[in-house]
Each structure stands twice: as structure tokens, then as C-alpha cells.
Structure 1
């Protein structure tokens, strides 16, 4: 298994996942050129990608789709309501669009979409399973519902949102309405909420990317300290029970469930 977060944050999101020799992308919210170049940097040809699964229609998750579909004919999988709500839907080739329900397959992978709480048409996270390994992506969610918690259980690799520090957000310069949106049930996940999701997660050992971190209302050191402090208090040991890395907006971050990597 190979998972690389190509970009994560409000300026654009895309994740590369390879399991059992099937290569896919989760979201394409940066330019097609940047996605192609980033894949090349990790030794992957864009033409070997077998599909793109899209979590929701916001621009920072779909802005590269048009070029990727037109130039490379990549199939795109998402909920029908998500497709209908995309700003670029009239530019996407119909033959590339594959509406999904809960479960579907791409190559050797079984993919399961699970509902999340976010201010989008029909947003989802994804559990991506090979024969013996599982990668789960759960970002852009206001809170961790029971079905989200169940979906992240037993993940070998987990991409989990740690968007904001609550005190930084409350004391920051954002308008009150925006603060309420972010902290609301259809907003974004705080560091502490992410920590408790990890505490409750069922798994002997997991590799975790902390993702979609706010540039204005969070810092990597604060996020890591908040999350690791809560886990330590609950008896979870970093490096033994969970390995954590920070996903970044402008840098590829890679993790393998087979061995640690940079």
C-alpha cells in the first residue's frame, strides 16, 4: 500500500492511493498539471490512474477534473447530487462520469462511500479496501458521526481532518458567521474532535495523516500537541499504536502501511 497526500487544505486537495496494483485519486482539487507533476515525482504515470473518487463538489476538491477527463479520459466516481452541483459539470465529458451509491469497485479495489456532515450536496468519505489493507479518507466533516467512526475503524492508513484549533478560531479575525459555520455540524473538524476519533478507532496500529489544516486557525505544532496529548492521556502510544504525519498544502507527504517512509 502506498498513500501520498499531494495537497491538502483550503487551496486544493488530492490524494493518491495504491493498493493491490490499482491506482486511484481521491479528489482533484489542484490543477491537472500539478497533479501530473506530483505523481511523476513519486514515480507514477497519470495514465496508470484507474479512477478519481470525489468527496464533494467544492472547488478545492474538483478544480482539476475537466483537464484530467478531457486529456486522459479518467473516469470519475461520485454521488449524482455531487455531479449535478459541480461548477464545471457542463464541461465534463459524460462518458467519464460514474454516479455511485454505497459500494462499487475500481480495478482490484472495493470502495465504500459513507455519508459525512458538511455543507455540500451529498458529501462522502471513502473506505478503499484491497485484499488485506484498508485506506480511509474522512475530511471536510463537521463532526464524527457513528457511521464515520465505524468507517474509519480498522484502517491501515487514515486521512483525517484536523482543521482548526478551537481557541485560535474563536479569537481569530474571521467574521462571526464564518466561525459558526466552521464550528457547526456541517463545518470542519477541530483538533480535539480528531483526537477523540483516533482514541475511539478500533485498530492495533494505524498510519494517520492529519489533513485539511487551516492556515489561519491552526498550526502543525498545535494540532500535533493537542492530538498527541489526548491520545497519551488515553493510553495510546505514538509510534506503537499510531504513526502521525501532517498533510501539507504545498508539499507531497507519503506514508506506507508496509513500512515507514518520508
Structure 2
């Protein structure tokens, strides 16, 4: 399995998963041009994608969706509530929209959506299974029991670690926005991500800490916080941090690098 995090953060999110010769894009929150160029840098053409999975309708997850759908006519999969909200945000050919309720099979891979607690119409995380298991869980107000269960046994896990509470409290955001971020329908703090990892019974092979706030977090801070909590629990996990502008590539063949 290969995972390419093209971008992750408040300015846009897009992740490509390749497993068993099937390629799937999760979210299209950056421009279609950037997605095309990012994939091309790894020898992948957008036409090779079997579909696009959407977590929710916020702009940092769908900004490039209209253009991408016009260029490549890729099927788009999301919960019904998300698709209904999409119609207010983007113009996508109706025949490309595929509502999902439970599990479905895409080119031989089992695709599962699981509900997440976020201030969107019907926000979800995604689990993709074939010869290996991939899980993405971002935009979490908190880790519910069903999210915690969905994280189990991933070979590669992309998990939100959005903010440091002290940085958020002392930062320049207006109080209503701070309150939204800290709420149960906002985002996940660094320490909360660490404790979600610590609670796992079937630990992941690799973890990507993702969706970092540019204003209220730092890559070195999130890694230090998570490692410290895990170390205290006697847990050692391979960790990497996804960035907004530098693609991150992971492989279950233990190859991991960032590209400028």
C-alpha cells in the first residue's frame, strides 16, 4: 500500500490511497491543478483514480471538486447529507454523485464510512480494506466509541491532531471560533489524538498526525506531545506529521519521505 498526503490542514486536504492496484482519492480540498500535478509527481494520472471519497462539505475538503469532476468525470462517494450540502457549495454532474449508507466495494476494495463528530451535515471518516487496512479520521470534535473502533488494526492511520490548547487559548482567534474548535463538534487536540492511539488494542503499523492548525499548532509540538504521552504508556509507534504544503508519502514497505 502507498499513501500520498498531497495536503493536510485548514487550507486544504487531499489524500491518495493506492492498495491492490486500486487508487482512491479522499477529499479534494486543494485545486484540481495542484492535485493533478501532485499525483503526476509520483507517476499517477487522475484518470487512474477509481473514485473520490468525501469526508464532509467544508471548503478545505472540496475546493477542487468541481473542476476535478469536470476534467475527469470521477465517481464521488459520500453520505447523503454531505451530497445534499455539496449542492450548495459546488457544481458537480449529478450522475457522478453516489450516496453511501454503509459498506460498499470499489474495484475489489471494501470501503467503510464511519460517523465523526464535526459541525458538518454528515461528516465521516473512511476505512479502506483489501490486502491491508487504511484509515483516515480527521475533523473530530472528539473520539467517539465508533471512531475508536474504526481506528483499530490499521496498517496506515491518518489521525487528526489539530491544535495545542494553550496556543489556541492565547492566540488571535475570536472567542466564538475558539469555542467552536474546542467543542465536541470541532477539532481534536494533540493530547486527545495521543490518548486515542494509546487506547488502541490492535495498534497501527504507521501513524500520520494530520490536519494541523497553522495558527494553533506546530509540527514539532504535536510530535513531542504525542510521543511523550505514548512513551508514558510504554507505547512506541512510527509517527509522521502531514503538512499543508509538503506532500508526505508512506508505504507499508517502510518507505516514508516528504517532498518539497
> Aligning the two structures, in what range does the TM-score lie when normalised by the shorter sequence?
over 0.9
Q: Residue in 1 aligned with 2:74?
A: 74
**CA distance in 1: counterparts of 2:7 and 2:89, whole angstroms:** 23
Q: Is residue 57 of structure 2 the alignment partner of residue 57 of structure 1?
A: yes
Structure 2, gaps ≥5 residues long: none
Q: Is residue 256 of structure 2 the alignment partner of residue 261 of structure 1?
A: yes
Say whether the 8 Å CA contact 2:152–2:203 is kept in structure 1: no
Count how many residue pairs are aligned between Structure 1 and Structure 2: 257
Say whether the 8 Å CA contact 2:66–2:90 is kept in structure 1: no
Q: Residue in 2 aligned with 1:97?
A: 97
- The change in CA–CA distance for 1:124 and 1:142 in structure 2 (over 3 A counts) is same
Q: Residue in 2 aligned with 1:10?
A: 10
Q: Which secondary structure does the structure 2 equivalent of 1:224 belong to?
A: helix
Q: Is residue 110 of structure 2 the alignment partner of residue 129 of structure 1?
A: no
* CA drift at 1:260: 2.6
Q: Residue in 2 aligned with 1:252?
A: 247
* CA drift at 1:89: 5.6
Q: Which secondary structure does the structure 1 equivalent of 2:50 belong to?
A: coil
Say whether the 8 Å CA contact 1:21–1:108 is kept in structure 2: no
Q: Residue in 1 aligned with 2:145?
A: 146
Q: Residue in 1 aligned with 2:212?
A: 213
Residues 179-190 of structure 1 mapped to structure 2, 5 A cutoff: 179-190=178-189
The RMSD of aligned alpha carbons is 1.1
**CA distance in 1: counterparts of 2:113 and 2:134, whole angstroms:** 12
Say whether the 8 Å CA contact 1:9–1:212 is kept in structure 2: yes
Say whether the 8 Å CA contact 2:197–2:203 is kept in structure 1: no
Say whether the 8 Å CA contact 1:83–1:89 is kept in structure 2: no
* CA drift at 1:158: 0.5
